[in-house]
Structure 1
Amino acid sequence: MKLIKLDAIDSTNDFLKALSNQDELDNFTVVTAENQTKGKGQMGSKWESESGKNLIMSVLVKDFLFNNEQVFNMSIIVSLAVVEVLKSLDIPDLSIKWPNDIMSYNKKIGGILIENTIKSDGRIVSVVGLGLNVNQTNFEYLPHASSLAVISGNLFDKDIFPKLIIENIQQKIESWQTESLCYWKKYYNTLFRRGVPMPFKNLENQNFMGIIQGVSAIGKLQVLLEDDSVSEFDIKEIQMLY
């Protein structure tokens, strides 16, 4: 694992994407930063992080995805890898809020942003960004957020996380051919609020009740509606109200 440490950057994902365009970077090259001024979440949302307190990292992953129908497999691998590392550190009540937010109880402690680029030869190269709230304790303006320190009552050495997470991701990629069904099942069983009636909001700002049933092969959320039909929603087409 090649590690590039930065003090401050606008976005580790943008930095790593630009670097990968100029150089033939090693697979699993990692960029970390103490501070990120323009951190990104899903669909252009902003990722806020207190300088020096949290894990901000991006990793380059090649030679795993080979067509667009497979891209959600990366979300499964990365989110499960993070959850398993946190479980090993005794972080309680972990779940994955679709598609790949990391939750403890009902608080968000981590977010994942995966950006895929199709190269001229058809290869898909992924830049996987991860923000993990580690030692930040002030979430005054983020009522749904928390951190490992708040939840566990302990401070952590955030520098241990890149190696632990990347090793877990590599192991899952290497075993994907034989273990993919197992990983999909683990992801399904770890879904936040699966099987529980809860309110949602759609693109028209209409509230409705539904029950999360699972996720489709291409990553759409499957929700059982009040008329007993099941609808599929893409990212940002639906918002969980919790």
Structure 2
Amino acid sequence: MKLIKLDAIDSTNEFLKGLSNKHEVQNFTVVTAENQLKGKGQMGSKWDSESGKNLIMSVLIKNFLFDNETVFNLNVVVSLAVIRTLKKYNIPELSVKWPNDIMSANKKIGGILIENSIKGEGTITSIVGLGLNVNQVQFEYLPRASSLALICSSFFDKEEILLAIVDEMELITENYQISASQLWNEYTNELFRVGIPSAFTDENENNFMGIIKGVSSIGKLQILLEDDSICEYNLKEVQMLY
């Protein structure tokens, strides 16, 4: 693993993407920054982070995805790498809020943004962005946000957590082919409010009750409805109300 440390950058994802477009970059190269000026989340949403307090990182992963039908496998890998690592630090009530939020109880502590690009020869290179609230303790106007420091009343070593997460990513990807089914089961069990009756709203602002059953192989959220049918939703087609 190669680690590139930056003080301030517009976006670690964009920096690593540009680097990989111009040079041959080692698999699992990591870029981290103390301050990210134009961080982004899913669907272009903004990711704010107090300078120097949180873990801001991007990882290049190649030779794992080989077609568009399997891209969500990487979400499974990254989500489990983060959850497994944070469990070692005794962070309580961890879960993955589909598709890419890391939760502790009902508070968001992190977010994942994966950007895939298909190269000329058909291979897929992925840039995995992770923002994890570590030592920030003030979240003005963000009532659902929290951090490891707030939850555990202690401060953490960001680089130690970074190295542990990347080690876990490498371990899971190396063994993915022989344990894919087990990993998907583990991912399903880690989903936020899985198996619990919950309120949702769809893209037309219709509210309904349902129970999360899992995620399809292509990354759609599977919800059991009151008529006992299971409906699958893409990102932005449904939102949980909690």
Could you tell me how far apart the structure 2 residues matched to 1:140 and 1:40 are? 18
Q: Which residue of 2 aligns with 1:44?
A: 44
How far does residue 140 in structure 1 lie from its aligned partner after superposition?
A: 2.4
TM-score, normalising length: structure 2 = 0.98
Q: Which residue of 1 aligns with 2:2?
A: 2
Q: Which residue of 2 aligns with 1:140?
A: 140
TM-score, normalising length: structure 1 = 0.98
Greater shift, 229-238 or 125-134, is seen at 229-238
Q: Which residue of 1 aligns with 2:239?
A: 239
Could you tell me how far apart the structure 2 residues matched to 1:162 and 1:152 are? 18
Q: Which residue of 2 aligns with 1:15?
A: 15
Could you tell me how far apart the structure 2 residues matched to 1:205 and 1:51 are? 36
Q: Which residue of 2 aligns with 1:196?
A: 196
Amino acid at match of 1:216: S
Q: Secondary structure at the match of 1:240?
A: strand
Amino acid at match of 1:85: T
**Deviation digits for residues 165-197 of structure 1 (CA, Å, limit 9, x no counterpart):** 111000001101111111001001111001111
Unaligned runs of 5+ in 1: none
Amino acid at match of 1:212: I
Could you tell me how far apart the structure 2 residues matched to 1:23 and 1:162 are? 24
Could you tell me how far apart the structure 1 residues matched to 2:237 and 2:118 are? 25
Q: Secondary structure at the match of 1:116?
A: strand
The reply to whether residue 131 of structure 1 matches residue 135 of structure 2 is: no
Number of aligned positions between the proteins? 242
Amino acid at match of 2:119: K
Unaligned runs of 5+ in 2: none
How far does residue 100 in structure 1 lie from its aligned partner after superposition?
A: 2.2
The reply to whether residue 155 of structure 1 matches residue 155 of structure 2 is: yes
How far does residue 99 in structure 1 lie from its aligned partner after superposition?
A: 1.3
How far does residue 130 in structure 1 lie from its aligned partner after superposition?
A: 0.1
Amino acid at match of 2:122: G
**Deviation digits for residues 124-176 of structure 1 (CA, Å, limit 9, x no counterpart):** 00000000000000012111110000001110011112211111000001101
Q: Which residue of 1 aligns with 2:67?
A: 67
Could you tell me how far apart the structure 1 residues matched to 2:44 and 2:207 are? 23
1:21-32 correspondence to structure 2 within 5 Å: 21-32=21-32
